[in-house]
């Protein structure tokens, strides 16, 4: 059942934060999404990018372009977590993705940015849906609605030449945004409002063989002094039906999670017995295999369509842990373990020493010595426990460093800076450069960026300089050296 509501421009509403559309199934029961619609190639393959502006009357004009610097930005997970300046949330969606993108920026003006993706639902695939994840940052100057910063989502049925009314909205900033927070940082004395990563469900069932486009657009305010931007990610599973909702034979409970962003939910079985009313249904113990569970959900008024999904249950799930491939390192490693997370799986690594997070599928490992890590994977219901191991071996074939005997800081990108070249060294305590009179010209506690041949912004002429360095190698041994190099103009 899918009941359409009239499409109209709406204000942003609070969506239930939702990492993935999960019915705790084997991956084989899901339809895969169109290629790179989820940005997992690390670029905009398949997407079209647009740039433009918003006029003072609120008219938005954009034209197709190459990905624009600082307006269409891809972020990669791993290592240090990058966080949004205004909202403090991670720039990469916490749904297990390797990549997410940012549309727009916090530069003020009348800028407008857009991305769109066109795809055809395969013939015979009448059960098809998308879950998109988003985070929004909008400055709120208190203008009229048509002047305010915004994010727009539009789903267009190109075959029938009509907008999908259940999935197309204008998200316009105002002072009563449910689920939004006020940034502790102000810009020009105005409030900045942000929404942490949330998700929305797009049901395109019954459209096998038809072509659709999905687009996201952000704009600044139409008066040119306030910004708006958003982060976007799309999940990699695109089926809204549950042909094989499987769980482990030894699971102690079963959890089913409905699509996000709806006002009310009702779970029931084939006998029309109501089982629950929240977005998540927990059944303990799991019901009998071959049972069928339904979930009906209704939207907030004006925010989408009513729908019903079906879960066919079977206790045949099997899991396989994958800790990744063995690897070698010398110093300061940052090695990603495991693989991307899968719906319905729980992860635990041991030992936790040197791991960015021992409770995710693919942490970053930075061990100081050779270490063997064990990954334990279980289903969310507690069953199907399985393990795998990966070994990281510390091996330094070369421990050496040198400093070039000359450098040419002429801006050609070749040998422009004087710096040590390190092999098998974990840390530089200091690297100093002096002139022949013993004056300090440069000092750093790293090999980077190196000396550019200037002093207090002034380019120095050709001369011989003396360098001194203290560094610690992979075995913890401290070594000190000094020598001379020639600055050549």
DSSP state for residue 146 in the 8-state scheme: G
pLDDT of residue 31: 52
pLDDT of residue 1: 37
* Close Cβ partners of 457 (under 8 Å, ≥ 6 residues apart): none
What is d(CA 248, CA 321) in angstroms, rounded to the nearest whole number? 15
Enter the tokens of residue 96.
């297990």
What is d(CA 198, CA 95) in angstroms, rounded to the nearest whole number? 10
- CA dihedral 72→77→82→88, nearest 10 degrees, is 90
pLDDT of residue 24: 31
Q: Which residues pair with 191 in a beta bridge?
A: 140
pLDDT of residue 6: 31
Instruction: Report all structural domains of the chain as residue ranges with CATH numbers, in order of start.
Output: 2-234 (2.60.120.260), 242-314 (2.60.40), 327-394 (2.60.40), 400-487 (2.60.40.1220)
Is there a contact between 284 and 293 (Cβ–Cβ < 8 Å)?
A: no
> What number of other Cβ atoms are within 10 A of residue 95's Cβ?
22
Q: Is 465 exposed, middle or buried (0-12, 13-18, 19+ CB in 10 A)?
A: buried
pLDDT of residue 79: 66
pLDDT of residue 237: 67
* Close Cβ partners of 80 (under 8 Å, ≥ 6 residues apart): none
pLDDT of residue 442: 96
CA distance between the termini of the chain = 76
What is d(CA 133, CA 128) in angstroms, rounded to the nearest whole number? 17
- The mean pLDDT values, 10 residues at a time, for the chain of 489 residues are 34 31 34 80 95 96 96 86 93 85 95 97 85 92 94 96 88 78 86 88 88 97 95 78 70 84 86 90 84 84 73 88 93 88 90 94 90 96 96 87 92 89 90 95 92 92 95 89 94
What is d(CA 219, CA 172) in angstroms, rounded to the nearest whole number? 10
pLDDT of residue 435: 95
Is there a contact between 3 and 306 (Cβ–Cβ < 8 Å)?
A: yes
Is there a contact between 407 and 417 (Cβ–Cβ < 8 Å)?
A: yes
Enter the tokens of residue 339.
């693989």
- CA dihedral 314→379→267→126, nearest 10 degrees, is -60
Q: Which pTM was predicted?
A: 0.64
């Amino acid at each position: 059942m899918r009941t359409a509501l009239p499409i109209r421009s709406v204000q942003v509403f609070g969506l239930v934060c939702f990492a993935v559309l999960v019915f705790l199934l084997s991956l084989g029961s899901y339809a895969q999404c169109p290629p790179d619609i989820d940005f997992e190639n690390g670029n905009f393959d398949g997407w079209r990018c647009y740039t433009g502006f918003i006029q003072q009357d609120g008219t938005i004009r954009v034209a197709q372009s190459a990905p624009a610097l600082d307006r269409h930005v891809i972020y990669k997970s791993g290592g240090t977590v990058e966080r949004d300046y205004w909202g403090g949330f991670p720039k990469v969606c916490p749904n297990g993705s390797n990549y997410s993108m940012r549309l727009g920026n916090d530069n003020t003006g009348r800028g407008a940015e857009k991305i769109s993706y066109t795809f055809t639902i395969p013939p015979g695939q009448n059960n098809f849906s998308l879950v998109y994840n988003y985070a929004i940052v909008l400055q709120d100057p208190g203008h009229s609605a048509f002047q305010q910063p915004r994010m727009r989502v539009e789903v267009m049925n190109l075959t029938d030449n009509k907008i999908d009314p259940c999935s197309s909205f204008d998200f316009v900033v105002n002072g009563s945004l449910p689920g939004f927070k006020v940034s502790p940082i102000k810009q020009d004395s105005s409030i900045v409002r942000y929404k942490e990563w949330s998700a929305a469900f797009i049901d395109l069932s019954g459209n096998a063989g038809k072509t659709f486009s999905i687009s996201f657009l952000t704009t600044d305010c139409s008066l040119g002094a306030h910004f708006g931007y958003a982060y976007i990610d799309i999940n990699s599973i695109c089926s809204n039906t549950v042909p094989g909702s499987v769980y482990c034979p030894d699971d102690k409970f079963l959890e089913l999670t409905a699509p996000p962003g709806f006002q009310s939910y009702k779970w029931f079985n084939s006998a029309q017995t109501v089982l629950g009313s929240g977005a998540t249904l927990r059944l303990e113990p799991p019901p009998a295999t071959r049972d069928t569970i339904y979930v009906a959900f209704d939207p907030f008024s004006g925010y989408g369509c009513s729908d019903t999904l079906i879960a066919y249950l079977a206790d045949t799930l099997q899991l396989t842990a994958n800790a990744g491939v063995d690897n070698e390192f010398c110093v300061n490693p940052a090695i990603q373990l495991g693989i991307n997370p899968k719906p319905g799986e729980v992860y635990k690594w041991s030992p936790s020493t040197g791991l960015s997070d021992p409770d995710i599928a693919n942490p970053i490992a930075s061990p100081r010595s050779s270490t063997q890590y064990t990954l334990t994977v279980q289903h969310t219901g507690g069953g199907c426990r399985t393990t795998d191991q990966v070994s990281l071996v510390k091996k330094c074939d070369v421990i050496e460093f040198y400093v070039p005997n000359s450098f040419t800081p002429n801006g050609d990108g070749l040998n422009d800076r004087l710096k040590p070249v390190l092999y098998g060294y974990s840390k530089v305590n200091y690297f100093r450069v002096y002139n022949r009179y013993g004056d300090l010209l440069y000092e750093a506690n790293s090999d980077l960026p190196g000396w550019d041949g200037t002093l207090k912004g002034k380019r120095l002429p050709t001369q011989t300089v003396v360098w001194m360095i203290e560094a610690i190698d992979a075995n913890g041994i401290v070594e000190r050296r000094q020598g001379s190099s020639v600055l050549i103009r």
